[in-house]
Amino acid sequence: MKKYYLIAFCLFLMGSVFAQNSNDLKLSVNKGSIKVATEDGHFSFGMGGRVYMDAAAYFDDKTDLGSGSEIRDIRLLMKADLWKKWNAKINIGFANGKVSLKDVWLMYKINKNSFVRAGHFLEPFGIEQTESSKTTKFMHASSTVEAFRPGRNLGFSYATWSEKTFWEAGLFGSDVNNSNKRTDEGYGITSRFVFTPYSKDHIFHVGISGTYRSVDKIEELNGYGYYASYQSESSIKYGSRAATHIEDRKFISAGVEEAKSQIKYGFEMIAAKGPLSIQGEYISAKVNRKSNFEDYSANGFYTQVGWLVKGGNYKYKMKSARLAKPGPGSVELLARYNQTDLNDSDALIMGGKQKDITVGGTWYVNHNVLVKFHFTNVDLDENSLNGEENFNMIQTRLQFSF
């Protein structure tokens, strides 16, 4: 029921826009998005969305992988600005034929460089985890980020930034799309700090993120269909697809039983000069377990480079602490190396190790349309889903947003 309350609350706030005299409203279209605003600027309401259409072909595979195509995701977006100090947003996804809440939040702008936000949104951890899928460089998140990211959860955060620093921290509960029965919901504390001593001619960014999360306690069903009188601590699971989504099996996966809590930390770096850029992240995770079980540890990293062969130079957004999306007409060539290791012999949990290399590019046709094309090689060790193997894939995406 949490997600329905969130939607109703934000819709109520957005309805304030239309409580104004209709003669005071003006309609505008900016970069394909529709916006209605009052003449005094105190209220505005906008609508948008996006569609991702993907195709993939796999070859040289020991595992019989399913080449094909899909509508990867459809999003519908509603947002409102209220009294110049408040913002509300509802972003709903329709991936895989299921309705799910993405961003559903209310924000209060303390000043031009800080805000507090409450609702359902991405926890502030790293670069790729906090970036919209609309602007990420690659079709699929790196295996490391997919395995360890905290994702979207219900909570609140505070963010502030200056010319050279960015900091956000928050307290979070669970994902509102999670239907598991719980007696005690776990909580998480997450923070990201970035230092950016950059100039107009050179961009340099270093950052650190950390998160602590307790484990949900699940109320289990007994053989008669009633909830048992005892509580069972749930396991923590890490896993990743093989740099693709059409073939959706997780080739590396680790389930850690008897978990009490988990701690993750990450380091990030961005550097850019002119039309060249480099970005990387390292993430380490540790699961604290009951005293008679060995703690589990896993880690991973990726490094990617970009070259704007058309479209000028890379730019930086301090408000979000990442590179800005290239402008319309740009052509960007990309390469990424990723390594994710879910093996921990001391804990007797061997989840597999994945290495993958992706090369490709993106054509930013205009503000609303872009095309991506990638070639990827994936190398898996003997502890992966079907043992040691190496295979290749070609993927492409047509993306439309408004």
The pLDDT value recorded for residue 38 is 82
**Strand, coil or helix: what is 119?**
strand
Confidence band for 228, pLDDT divided at 50, 70 and 90: very low
- The answer to whether residues 128 and 119 touch, using CB atoms and an 8 Å cutoff, is no
Token pair 């960014």 is found at 205
Range of weakest confidence among 9-23, 30-44, 106-120, 198-212: 9-23
Written as one letter, the residue type at 62 is K
Is the pLDDT score of 5 beyond 90? no
CATH number of residue 332's parent domain:
2.40.160.10
Is the pLDDT score of 23 beyond 70? no
Q: Tens digit of pLDDT for each residue in 78-131?
A: 999 988 899 999 999 998 878 888 999 999 999 999 999 999 999 999 999 999
Q: Does 241 fall in a domain?
A: yes
Per-residue DSSP letter, 345: T
Q: Does 330 fall in a domain?
A: yes
- The mean pLDDT of 157-168, rounded to a whole number, is 96
Q: Tens digit of pLDDT for each residue in 366-381?
A: 999 999 999 999 999 9
Confidence band for 182, pLDDT divided at 50, 70 and 90: low
Q: Does 209 fall in a domain?
A: yes
Confidence band for 10, pLDDT divided at 50, 70 and 90: low
Which of 159, 145, 268, 129 is CA-nearest to residue 206?
A: 268
Higher pLDDT, 71 or 7: 71
Q: Does 396 fall in a domain?
A: yes
Q: Is the dihedral of CA 125, 128, 133, 139 positive or negative?
A: negative
**Polymer length in residues for the chain:** 402
Q: Tens digit of pLDDT for each residue in 255-268?
A: 999 999 999 999 99
Percentage with pLDDT > 70 across the chain: 87
| H-helix or E-strand spanning residue 206 | strand 203-214
Q: Tens digit of pLDDT for each residue in 313-332?
A: 999 999 999 999 999 999 99
Q: Does 161 fall in a domain?
A: yes
Domain limits at 192? 58-72+112-401
Predicted TM-score (pTM) of this structure: 0.88
Higher pLDDT, 180 or 261: 261
DSSP 145-167: HHHH---EEEEEEEEEE-SSEEE
Q: pLDDT averaged over the chain?
A: 88
Q: Does 16 fall in a domain?
A: no
Q: Return the structure tokens found at 297.
A: 């540890």
Rounded CA separation 25/299 (Å): 53
Counting beta carbons within 10 angstroms of the beta carbon of residue 242, is it exposed (0 to 12), middle (13 to 18) or buried (19 or more)?
buried
Rounded CA separation 343/340 (Å): 9
Is the pLDDT score of 187 beyond 50? yes
The pLDDT value recorded for residue 320 is 93
Q: Does 94 fall in a domain?
A: no
Percentage with pLDDT > 90 across the chain: 72
Task: State how many domains the chain has.
Answer: 1
Pairing between strand 203-214 and 250-256?
A: unpaired
Token pair 């299921």 is found at 98
Q: Does 201 fall in a domain?
A: yes
